[in-house]
Amino acid sequence: MVRLSANIVFISPTEYIKNGFIEVDENNILTDLFSLDEVLSEPSSTQFLNGILVPFHIKEKNLLINKDGDLQFQLEETNPIQIKKGDKVSFWFISGEGLFCGNFSPISISQII
């Protein structure tokens, strides 16, 4: 069982959870998904990641900032992706010093699950 929390967890290319929490079992099945803001304490053995978790592969060149300063993704896939409990998932972790300031240099993207 893997329990991760991040500043932002995207559940689709346009929807995200602030202070998101995910729990994934040994078969990469998503068993829990919520915001830590909704609970009094985080589940035990939760690893906090300072950055963004996304349930789809993303390349640095496909990260965009809209006019309001929000992070957007330009995806090459035509089918929308939306995760829910019970789905088999993969997650990529996006991190970097300027990530939440609109400065994407340098950033790191790595598959974490």
Digit-coded pLDDT (tens) for 94-104: 887 767 776 65
Q: Write out 4-46 in H/E/C secondary structure.
A: EEEEEEECCCCCEEEEEEEEECCCCEEEEEEEHHHCCCCCCCC
Counted domains in the chain: 1
The pLDDT assigned to 105 comes to: 62
The pLDDT assigned to 97 comes to: 74
Give tens-digit pLDDT for 61-83.
556 555 565 666 665 554 457 89
The domain in which residue 89 lies consists of 2-111
Q: What is the CATH number of the domain that holds 22?
A: 2.30.40
Range of lowest pLDDT (35-39, 53-57, 59-63, 82-86): 59-63
User: What is this structure's pTM?
Assistant: 0.81
